[in-house]
Amino acid sequence: MNWDAIGAIAETLGAVAVVATLVYLSSQLRQNTAAMRAAKLESWAATGSAISQFRALHSEVLAKAFSGEATSPSEMMIVDGLAQQIFLLMEVTYLHHRDGAIERDVYEARLEGLMSALDNPLIRAQWDQTKGYGMTRGFVQMVDKTLLLRDA
């Protein structure tokens, strides 16, 4: 066997190794992407669960506040806490949707839930008071635009 033949075999083996490496990296990338998406959805679901638990824990105070009865400052803090949790869940949903981690129908369902929550005067007042604090500009603009279109 001459050196040209050995060189050709080595080149072929090198090309096969490169292709095999690319196939392996491609599958790893797909697995990593799926795992990241699953982690985002689990985090998102946990936040939704926390809101449900908060509502159950404070159901009497929330019922009182939402019925229009007079509430104490400490009871209003509970309403404010619920509002902030709702806003946080929707902002996380918005960011995940923007990044392609949550499908459009899931995003739209959550947005509909937020708009429904904002129909409550107490939640709406909390939005108007705090929307500039700690929320992304894109999220605030999206909510305000959706409210304007809906209220028009």
Please give the share of the chain, as a percent, with pLDDT higher than 90.
18
The alpha-carbon radius of gyration of the chain (Å, integer) is 26
Mean pLDDT (the chain) is 86
Average pLDDT over residues 70-89: 89
pLDDT score at 94: 92
Average pLDDT over residues 4-16: 84
Task: List pLDDT tens digits, range 36-70.
Answer: 777 777 776 777 788 888 888 888 988 888 888 88
Task: List pLDDT tens digits, range 127-144.
Answer: 999 887 889 999 999 999
Kindly state the tokens that stand for 55: 């509502």
Kindly state the tokens that stand for 58: 């404070």
**86-108 burial, b for 16+ CB within 10 Å, e for fewer?**
bbebbbbbbebbeeebbeeeebe
Kindly state the tokens that stand for 38: 């699953």
pLDDT score at 44: 67
Indicate the pTM of the whole model.
0.71
List C-alpha distances in Å: 133 to 51, 55, 88: 20, 23, 12
* Band of pLDDT at residue 25, cut at 50, 70 and 90: confident
pLDDT score at 3: 82
- Helices in 58-103 by DSSP H: which ranges? 59-66, 73-98
